[in-house]
Amino acid sequence: MATQQKIKIGVLTSGGDAQGMNAAVRAVVRTGISRGCDVYAIYEGYEGMIQGGPLIRPMSWDSVGGILQRGGTVIGTARSAAFRTREGRRQAAANLLAHGIDRLVVIGGDGSLTGADLFRREWPELLQELVAAGVIDATTAACHPFLGIVGLVGSIDNDFAGTDMTIGADTALHRITEALDSITSTAASHQRTFVIEVMGRNCGYLALMGAISGGADWVFIPEHPPEVDDWQTQMCDALRAGRQSGRRDSLVVVAEGAQDRHGAPITAEDVRRVLEERLGEDTRVTILGHVQRGGVPSAFDRWMSTLIGYTAVEELLSTTPEREPQLIGIRENRITSTPLMQCVAETRGVAEAIAARDYERAMALRGGSFGEAYRTFGTLVQSRPPQPGTAARPMRFAVIHSGGPAPGMNTAVRVAVRLGVDHGHTMLGIRNGFQGFIDGEIAEMNWMSVSGWATIGGAELGTNRKVPEGGELYAIARNIERHNIHGLLMIGGISGYEACHRLVAQRTIFPAFNIPIICLPATIDNNLPGSELSIGADTALNSIVEAVDRIKQSAVASRRCFIVEVMGRDCGYLALLGGLATGAERVYLPEEGVTLRHLQADLDEMIAAFKRGKRLSLIIRNERVNPVYSTSFICDLFEEEGGKLFEVRQSILGHLQQGGNPSPFDRIQATRLAAKCIEFLIDRAAHGRPEGAFIGYKGGRVQTLSLDDFPRMMEPNHARPREQWWLDLRAVAGALRHPPADARG
Ligand code: ADP
């Protein structure tokens, strides 16, 4: 009797390599195996598909172990001229059929994905040709009537329609930001100017976001050439004025594909020459080149690629000959699928618009937030700091922190102060949170007082968890009056939200609180309502990933289980996303708690896995999962029960998670949100509307909600919002936990 044929999936990486490809391959292989498929890695891209033999290899659960943290692509990538020919594709089809493969996950750029689509369309004809040539028999051809394909975009440029982020772009931004941070310190020491060229032929994403996160002074991108023909004078005037107002260095970022309005290239060398000739400054060029492809993948590239790899398999299993092939991407924090060739066409549309010098269209195709980021950057590099008090109705706005330190707080203050001053208002900094507000630690800040703050971790203004009460509110009201404060921006966590809510609630008693107040979410815990992500959480995830990489490396010689405790208070975001990004087998979340029964089941799983030959096991536990089943309790329990089979070690990561310089993502989000907050304060104060609000991202958009809603949006008795989008990702973590029983070696 004929048995149901197993579905056989091939996965390949093609075109340029990108960090995170390994995470995607790992997720494809493990999800495929969990869903009862055979998964094959096709080494060296399409070249391996054409050569076949050992370049098409079945993968086991363990063969993708330990690759999540590796850079590049372990299955290799190549460009293949042969795949552009029909003979080449016919040979590729024959090699796939030799293994019964008729589903493909292709990870690459637009060339690779276009090639995949062509291959899919030709498949039935290629099979007929193979039958005619006697390479395969008619039954084989009949068993594989169509080729299912799904595309994932691996490209460091982030130049693709259909996904907000491509695999590798975030890591490349990390490398660029690290380089800019390093260059800034030497540039400032010698009062030098640096011109840095970054990748991006048709896409200014890396240049613009790198410039924002590195606190650069000027940027050139392909989609938005300088508006004036004499860009040289415009740039030199701006940089000269910046130096006159006290900057010790100048940093100019140039995308590879930068050009002027007439399509003539603007190269890093052109910029250097202009700066040396006109400003007489010692100017150096640094071309970052392949550094941008190097290093280890960022936390985001690990978890995002894991999610889209998982979804790619789900898509392949449900595809039909009629369904258009899909591209799996991420949009607004959700995994999405979009018709593949529509994405390829839109992507090419940007390149065509640039070639046709239709820059408005090119910017429009990039999407709204790109244009907004460009405008914000433009204001931030304004080099003639306007004098405070020059607005039609000059106002005084204060900035305060509250809660634990979150990397990115300084970035947000810098943007708020500069934009406020730029609009002709006076900006005040309140030191040491609400305690400082009570004590009157309030001082004016100017353009230069936040110089260098774009990049440094911690909170220069100081922060703590103080929530004012009783007579302290009176002291705050007095200070608002004394300093004539027209609006308040709180950048921080839950205690700040509570404090601001209290001020708003006490307005009838203290009329001084009748000013616009806005909260900007900044906490590594990501436990605030109204925002899917808070500033600092991405940096903390990167710190966790970096620490776990080291912990794993320390365990080369023995069979070991690590229990890593992460922060997050009552919110499991860091634990779950940290688990996805590090490949943890188990995560303990405060939303789920843990019982003795869970621990027993996990222990049984672990014993079985180590008996099968497992060498390393990783568990991530949130700090507040359960007061009794503490990290050291679980550690002792597993150690005792594991006997000689494995050792158990605990690692409580602690405050390293709150430290470190902010990640590029946190710097960019802090910049965008702070810009919106200042807009809000200026508008509400000008219109005499003393609203209390909190801002955040939902579905990729910035939203502003009323502080009156804050308590209702929180879970009772727990410091976390009722709605947490990321809880849905538990299914993926579950699927990648253990091999199913029939796939165990
Ligand atoms: P990327 O995928 O990063 O854009 P390339 O454009 O170099 O990189 O494409 C990678 C490989 O994909 C090529 O070497 C070739 O084998 C295949 N490929 C690209 N374009 C096509 C096409 N139009 N038809 C068939 N194969 C293609």
Could you tell me how far CA 706 lies from the centroid of its own chain? 27
Q: At 575, is the secondary structure helix, strand, or coil?
A: helix
- The tokens describing 390, both together, are 């020059």
pLDDT score at 2: 44
The rounded percent of the chain whose pLDDT value lies above 90 is 83
Q: Whose CA is nearest to atom 21 of ligand 1?
A: 115
The CATH number of whichever domain residue 177 belongs to comes to 3.40.50.460
Q: Half-sphere exposure of 42 toward its Cβ, with a 13 Å CA cutoff?
A: 29
Could you tell me the pLDDT band of residue 565, with boundaries at 50, 70 and 90? Answer: very high
Do the domain assignments include residue 524?
yes
Residues linked to residue 702 through DSSP beta bridges, in sequence order: 697
Q: Does one domain contain both 20 and 144?
A: yes
Asked if 210 contacts 216 with a C-beta cutoff of 8 angstroms, the reply is yes
Do the domain assignments include residue 619?
yes
Ligand 1 atom, smallest distance to 119 CA? 25
Cα–Cα–Cα angle for 497, 500, 506, rounded to 5 degrees? 140
Cα–Cα–Cα angle for 415, 296, 673, rounded to 5 degrees? 20
CA of 402 to the centre of ligand 1 (A): 51
Q: For residue range 634-646, what is the model confidence (pLDDT) as tens digits? A: 999 999 999 999 9
Do the domain assignments include residue 354?
no
How far are the Cα atoms of 398, 433, 522, 703 from residue 442, in angstroms, in the given order? Answer: 8, 10, 21, 29
For residue 423, the 8-state DSSP code is: T
Do the domain assignments include residue 638?
yes
pLDDT score at 387: 63
Q: Whose CA is nearest to atom 25 of ligand 1?
A: 115
Q: For residue range 392-404, what is the model confidence (pLDDT) as tens digits? A: 789 999 999 999 9
Q: Could you write out the DSSP letters of every residue in 600-622?
A: HHHHHHHHHHHHTT--EEEEEEE
38: containing domain = 8-166+297-331
Nearest to 372 by CA among 686, 678, 671: 671
Would the pLDDT of 384 be above 80?
no
Measure the CA–CA gap between 18 and 297, rounded to whole angstroms.
9
Q: Does one domain contain both 414 and 530?
A: yes
| β-pair type (334-339, 326-331) | antiparallel
Would the pLDDT of 3 be above 70?
no
Q: Does one domain contain both 410 and 529?
A: yes
pLDDT score at 391: 78
Contact 496 CB / ligand 1 (< 6 Å): no
Could you tell me the pLDDT band of residue 738, with boundaries at 50, 70 and 90? Answer: confident
Ligand 1 pocket test: pick from 105, 112, 156 the residue with the most ligand atoms within 8 Å of its Cβ.
112
Q: Does one domain contain both 256 and 305?
A: no
CA of 15 to the centre of ligand 1 (A): 7
538 sits in which H/E element: helix 537-553
Q: Does one domain contain both 411 and 320?
A: no
Contact 46 CB / ligand 1 (< 6 Å): yes
pLDDT score at 734: 86
Cα–Cα–Cα angle for 152, 159, 171, rounded to 5 degrees? 75
Residues linked to residue 254 through DSSP beta bridges, in sequence order: 197, 220
Asked if 225 contacts 260 with a C-beta cutoff of 8 angstroms, the reply is yes
Q: Whose CA is nearest to atom 5 of ligand 1?
A: 111
Measure the CA–CA gap between 178 and 213, rounded to whole angstroms.
10
Q: Does one domain contain both 38 and 177?
A: no
Contact 118 CB / ligand 1 (< 6 Å): yes
Could you tell me the pLDDT band of residue 458, with boundaries at 50, 70 and 90? Answer: very high
Could you tell me the pLDDT band of residue 1, with boundaries at 50, 70 and 90? Answer: very low
Residue after which a domain boundary falls, among 306, 331, 356: 331
Q: Whose CA is nearest to atom 26 of ligand 1?
A: 115
Do the domain assignments include residue 322?
yes
Sequence letter at residue 172:
A
Q: What is the end-to-end Cα distance of the chain in Å, rounded? A: 27
The question of whether 17 is a catalytic residue gets the answer no
Ligand 1 atom, smallest distance to 154 CA? 3
Query: Per residue in 150-160, is it b (16+ CB within 10 Å) or e — as a string?
Result: bbbbbbbbbbb
Do the domain assignments include residue 373?
no
259: left (phi over 0), alpha (psi -120 to 50) or beta: beta
- The tokens describing 507, both together, are 């307005």
pLDDT score at 185: 79
Q: Whose CA is nearest to atom 14 of ligand 1?
A: 79
Measure the CA–CA gap between 662 and 507, rounded to whole angstroms.
36
Cα–Cα–Cα angle for 460, 463, 469, rounded to 5 degrees? 145
Measure the CA–CA gap between 592 and 417, rounded to whole angstroms.
41
The mean per-residue pLDDT over the stretch 114-127 comes to 97
CA of 334 to the centre of ligand 1 (A): 28
Do the domain assignments include residue 125?
yes
Q: Does one domain contain both 114 and 22?
A: yes
Q: For residue range 286-307, what is the model confidence (pLDDT) as tens digits? A: 999 999 998 999 999 999 999 9
Would the pLDDT of 270 be above 90?
yes
The mean per-residue pLDDT over the stretch 150-160 comes to 94
5 sits in which H/E element: none
Q: Which of 17, 117, 157, 164 is catalytic?
A: 157
Contact 664 CB / ligand 1 (< 6 Å): no
Measure the CA–CA gap between 395 and 368, rounded to whole angstroms.
30
Q: Does one domain contain both 682 and 603?
A: no
CA of 106 to the centre of ligand 1 (A): 11
Phi and psi at 638, nearest 5°, equal -65, -40
The residues, ordered by sequence, that sit 6+ positions from 575 with a Cβ below 8 Å of its Cβ are 566, 568, 587, 588, 589, 620, 621, 622
Ligand 1 atom, smallest distance to 155 CA? 3
Q: Does one domain contain both 32 and 154?
A: yes
Contact 108 CB / ligand 1 (< 6 Å): yes
- The tokens describing 421, both together, are 């001053």
pTM of the complete model beyond 0.85: yes
Contact 341 CB / ligand 1 (< 6 Å): no
Place of tokens 């069979």: 559
The residues, ordered by sequence, that sit 6+ positions from 2 with a Cβ below 8 Å of its Cβ are none
Q: Whose CA is nearest to atom 6 of ligand 1?
A: 111
Asked if 574 contacts 544 with a C-beta cutoff of 8 angstroms, the reply is yes
Measure the CA–CA gap between 286 and 304, rounded to whole angstroms.
30
Q: How many CB atoms lie within 10 A of CB 60?
A: 16
Sequence letter at residue 239:
L
Sequence letter at residue 60:
S
Would the pLDDT of 547 be above 50?
yes
Residue after which a domain boundary falls, among 247, 273, 293: 293
Q: Does one domain contain both 625 and 636?
A: yes
pLDDT score at 744: 64
Q: Half-sphere exposure of 86 toward its Cβ, with a 13 Å CA cutoff?
A: 9
Residue after which a domain boundary falls, among 311, 331, 351: 331
The residues, ordered by sequence, that sit 6+ positions from 562 with a Cβ below 8 Å of its Cβ are 548, 551, 552, 555, 616, 617, 618, 619, 648, 649, 650, 651
Q: Half-sphere exposure of 224 toward its Cβ, with a 13 Å CA cutoff?
A: 19
Nearest to 266 by CA among 190, 195, 333, 317: 195
Could you tell me the pLDDT band of residue 234, with boundaries at 50, 70 and 90? Answer: very high
Asked if 432 contacts 462 with a C-beta cutoff of 8 angstroms, the reply is yes
Measure the CA–CA gap between 265 and 282, rounded to whole angstroms.
23
CA of 745 to the centre of ligand 1 (A): 37
Do the domain assignments include residue 388?
no
Contact 15 CB / ligand 1 (< 6 Å): yes
CA of 110 to the centre of ligand 1 (A): 7
Ligand 1 pocket test: pick from 13, 50, 79 the residue with the most ligand atoms within 8 Å of its Cβ.
79
Q: Does one domain contain both 15 and 121?
A: yes
Q: For residue range 314-335, what is the model confidence (pLDDT) as tens digits? A: 999 999 999 999 999 998 888 9
Domain count, the chain: 4
Q: Does one domain contain both 139 and 259?
A: no
Nearest to 203 by CA among 373, 379, 17, 370: 370
The CATH number of whichever domain residue 511 belongs to comes to 3.40.50.450
Q: How many CB atoms lie within 10 A of CB 696?
A: 22
Q: For residue range 566-613, what is the model confidence (pLDDT) as tens digits? A: 999 999 999 999 999 999 999 999 999 999 999 999 999 999 999 988
Phi and psi at 57, nearest 5°, equal -125, 135
Q: How many CB atoms lie within 10 A of CB 227?
A: 9
Contact 114 CB / ligand 1 (< 6 Å): yes
CA of 46 to the centre of ligand 1 (A): 9
Span of 15-29, 254-268, 371-385, 729-743 with lowest mean pLDDT: 371-385
